[in-house]
Amino acid sequence: MSITDKSFIGSIPELYDRLMVPLIFEPYARDLAARALALAPRSVLEVAAGTGAVTRALAARLPADTKLVATDLNQPMLDQARKQMADAPHIIFRQADAQALPFDDAQFDAVLCQFGAMFFPDRAKAYREAKRVLKPGGHYLFNVWGRIEDNEFADEVTRTLALLFPSDPPRFLARTPHGYHDPDKIRADLRAAAFEDISIMPLEAVSTAPSPGEAAMAYCQGTPLRSEIEARGGSLEEATRTAAEALARRFGRGAISGRIQALVVAAG
């Protein structure tokens, strides 16, 4: 993993929340929140909460007296989440590393993580921390992206930028968001953290965007892919435009849709 893969800074948090969340994250946020709500938890910890897609879905349906703590390594992402939920003062936002959670043992009925595990340098360590803060009988729920080939917009953008930068292709999307999709590896990491009851299931959805340009801007400017483009001396505008043209050729020039796939993991 490149050091820039976790750099959600500058304008990225706002663009991520405005463009990426509705593009690919919202259906999986609703799914993860629904799975958590079915457990009727009285205390919930979210790690790698990002700009709060799952947090918002939970806050809208959890009883007001349920303890909900949202954490992320990147303070700018939490700041964006807090801004979006200014009318929910009962939610606790706290900067925290998933590998060293600042909470006592056995504090939460459920720990959730929406598309964050791929970014953990030591996943078994992060999973052990989730296990430590769970109450006996608690549940760890998270999702990760499937293969990049099964996520059509991300795949097309990655292929296109490889042609634009042939000597050093930007590989953020393939390397990190879509780099942890082997169920056997996930299961082994969870077992190393003393989880025993493990379920992993694929879940397909459809990604939609009002235009190829908006989808291209989401990926090229609303994720750390932006840093890779800029580090290669490329024009961010040219890269976005080139990606938009490729998306338009494949998916059309109006509103577009493409297949996305994730793995949903439950462990106890």
Per-residue pLDDT tens for 127-144? 999 999 999 999 999 999
Q: pTM score, two decimals?
A: 0.94
Domain 3-267, CATH 3.90.1150.10 — does that match? Answer: no
pLDDT confidence of residue 3: 56
Give the Cβ contact number of residue 102 at 10 Å.
10
123 pLDDT above the threshold of 60? yes
pLDDT confidence of residue 6: 53
236 pLDDT above the threshold of 90? yes
Q: Stretch 198-222: mean pLDDT, rounded? A: 98
pLDDT band at residue 86 using 50, 70 and 90 as cut-offs: confident
Q: Stretch 98-113: mean pLDDT, rounded? A: 98
Nearest to 140 by CA among 176, 114, 102: 114
pLDDT confidence of residue 99: 98
Q: Stretch 239-246: mean pLDDT, rounded? A: 98
pLDDT confidence of residue 64: 87
How far is CA 121 from each of CA 3, 117, 125, rounded to the nearest angstrom? Answer: 10, 9, 9
pLDDT confidence of residue 7: 61
DSSP-derived letter for residue 18 is I
Beta strands in 73-172 (DSSP E): 92-95, 108-114, 134-145
Q: Stretch 221-240: mean pLDDT, rounded? A: 96
* CA gap 31, 28 in Å, rounded: 5
pLDDT band at residue 119 using 50, 70 and 90 as cut-offs: very high
Sheet of strand 43-47: strand arrangement: 92-95, 67-72, 43-47, 108-114, 134-145, 256-267, 198-209
Nearest to 46 by CA among 63, 59, 61: 59
* CA gap 209, 257 in Å, rounded: 6
pLDDT by residue (tens digit) across 166-184?
999 999 999 999 999 999 9
Which two three-digit tokens encode residue 204? 């397909």
For residues 49 and 78, the answer to whether their CB atoms sit within 8 Å is yes
Give the Cβ contact number of residue 253 at 10 Å.
13
Q: Stretch 94-113: mean pLDDT, rounded? A: 98
Nearest to 225 by CA among 182, 172, 162, 149: 172
pLDDT band at residue 201 using 50, 70 and 90 as cut-offs: very high
Residue 86, strand partner residues: none
Residue 261, strand partner residues: 204
Give the Cβ contact number of residue 65 at 10 Å.
7
Give the Cβ contact number of residue 107 at 10 Å.
17
Q: Stretch 228-236: mean pLDDT, rounded? A: 95
Nearest to 220 by CA among 242, 248, 193, 252: 242
> Could you tell me whether strands 134-145 and 256-267 are parallel, antiparallel, or unpaired per DSSP bridges?
antiparallel
Mean pLDDT of the chain: 95
pLDDT confidence of residue 89: 72
91 pLDDT above the threshold of 70? yes
